[in-house]
């Protein structure tokens, strides 16, 4: 399978990795030697470290703070993170500076979320009112 280019890659970063559910998928799909997963939540990082491996590691760091403590990467990946950031366009514009030449910035986002589930509706209402990460 070829995804986001071809070949094997030294390093991919998973920004806003949360509990790390997609982190191993990134490493396997992109055939990365290492995936470093970054999240601002110390609690999430602590829990995610339970699924760490020789290739996939987790660090506590604010993704709005450049440079990342990882060195340059072949791929920077973000999934469902932008809605949690203040001025996401400004933040995304900084991330390519953390890429090696010819590196790729991969973003996965939803245009909107709609639900009839009361708990999820309440969560979305709270999330839209909270102070965004600087």
- What tokens does 15 get? 């920004």
Query: Per-residue pLDDT tens for 61-90?
Result: 999 999 999 999 999 999 989 988 889 999
Give the pLDDT band of residue 134 (cuts 50, 70, 90). Answer: very low
Query: Per-residue pLDDT tens for 1-45?
Result: 345 555 678 999 999 999 999 999 998 888 899 999 999 999 999
Which pLDDT belongs to residue 114?
80
Say how many CA atoms lie within 13 Å of 5 toward its Cβ.
Answer: 15
Higher-confidence residue of 123 and 105: namely 105
What letters, b where the CB count within 10 A reaches 16 and e where it falls short, cover 77-109? bbbebbeebeebeebbeebeebbeeebbbbeee
Domains of the chain: 9-129 (3.40.50.150)
Which pLDDT belongs to residue 133?
44
What is the DSSP-derived secondary structure letter of residue 102?
Answer: E
């Amino acid at each position: 399978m070829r995804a986001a280019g071809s070949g094997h890659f030294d390093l991919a970063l998973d920004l806003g990795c949360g509990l790390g559910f997609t982190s191993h998928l990134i490493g396997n799909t992109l055939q990365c030697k290492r995936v470093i997963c970054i999240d601002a939540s110390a609690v999430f990082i602590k829990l995610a470290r339970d699924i760490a491996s020789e290739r996939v590691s987790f660090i506590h760091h604010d993704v709005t703070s450049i440079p990342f403590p990882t060195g340059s990467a072949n791929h920077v990946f973000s999934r469902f993170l932008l809605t949690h950031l203040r001025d996401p366009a400004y933040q995304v514009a900084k991330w390519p500076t953390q890429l090696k030449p010819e590196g790729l910035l991969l973003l996965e986002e939803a245009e909107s979320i709609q639900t009839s589930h009361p708990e999820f509706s309440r969560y979305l209402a709270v999330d839209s009112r909270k102070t965004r990460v600087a």
